[in-house]
Amino acid sequence: FSSFFTCLSSVYQSSMIAHGKVWALFVLRLLRDISITLILYLILSNGISGSALSLAYIYLIVYIVYFMLLAALQSQWLNNFRK
């Protein structure tokens, strides 16, 4: 499900690395992975669902948010760079 947003995110990640935003990328990836783990834990502990499909949906939602965050930050950094 999330392969499209994963590929688009990796383009922005490469751009961030090229512009020297390695620590910002580390923090964003850390938040992404923590949110995936936390949401999965909450779903499993409440007994809502325990299937791999729910994990795929979690990945999809988190990667969409991660992609939009990367795109917004990248455009902001590029606008500041051009000034």
Residue 81: predicted pLDDT: 67
Q: What is the pLDDT of residue 42?
A: 87
* Model pLDDT, residue 65: 93
Identify the residue whose tokens are 């499900």: 1
pLDDT of residue 82: 66
Question: In this predicted structure, what is the pLDDT of residue 83?
Answer: 60
Both ends of the chain: CA-CA distance in Å? 38
Question: What ranges make up the beta strands (E) of the chain?
Answer: none
Task: Yes or no: say if 43 and 58 are a contact pair by the CB < 8 Å rule.
Answer: yes
pLDDT along the chain (83 residues), means of 10: 82 87 91 92 80 85 92 81 64
